Chains A and B, each alone.
Chain A
Amino acid sequence: DAGVTQSPTHLIKTRGQQVTLRCSPKSGHDTVSWYQQALGQGPQFIFQYYEEEERQRGNFPDRFSGHQFPNYSSELNVNALLLGDSALYLCASSFTGGPHTGELFFGEGSRLTVL
């Protein structure tokens, strides 16, 4: 059973560029959440997708956008990259409607470096 998979694992961009990160949830999961983890910090919630719609959003600017596809996979897009966007981006999947729907399973993350 494949867990949560993310791509790419590492990438380097320059300020002002745009980036797209991808995530496939754990088999059987229908909800995808994205977190940003800056160096030495805990993960911070960006947004959550369910039924192809953004269900909840954290305190991140509109430069951060996402999408969920019918197969439950998801993308995170960041426009007009800033140096401060350098971080590990974690995708987490869960199952809405299960008995313990608070449980999240994380992927290995995509490490973004903005120069």
Chain B
Amino acid sequence: GENVEQHPSTLSVQEGDSAVIKCTYSDSASNYFPWYKQELGKRPQLIIDIRSNVGEKKDQRIAVTLNKTAKHFSLHITETQPEDSAVYFCAASQDSGYSTLTFGKGTMLLVSP
């Protein structure tokens, strides 16, 4: 089955800095890679996703890159703000009706004012 590794487990940055979280996956059949943000006591919320037909996707301050050859993908957050503080999870699956996401263990991002 799929295995997703995520690094780092914690990341502390100053407000305004950039943050990068990296994930690797094992199943070459995976072609859907979402990122979820989970605030304390809340549900995971999809913030951005990428499919294997593109290498990069951007949405305002958030971008995701995908290297399918190396089987890794990354989340980039620019101009971080205190409200970006949360746990971020990467995940991988096949983009089909049978999709079952395999999650990384999460990265706790702390943005200090």
Please list the residues of chain A having a beta carbon within 8 angstroms of any beta carbon in chain B: 31, 33, 40-45, 48, 50, 55-56, 58, 90, 92, 94-98, 100-109
By beta carbon, the residue of chain B nearest A58 is: B100
Given contacts A90-B43, A108-B43, contact A102 B103 (CB under 8 A): no
Are A94 and B99 closer than 8 Å at their CB atoms? yes
Partner pick for A90 among B44, B46, B100, CB 8 A cutoff: B44
Are B105 and A100 closer than 8 Å at their CB atoms? no
Which of B43, B89, B93 has the most A CB atoms < 10 Å from its CB? Answer: B43
By beta carbon, the residue of chain B nearest A111 is: B41
A105 to B97, CA, bound (A): 14
A40 to B21, CA, bound (A): 17
Given contacts A56-B100, A94-B99, A109-B43, contact A103 B105 (CB under 8 A): no
By beta carbon, the residue of chain A nearest B89 is: A42
B103 to chain A, nearest CB (A): 3
By beta carbon, the residue of chain A nearest B96 is: A101
A108 to B44, CA, bound (A): 8
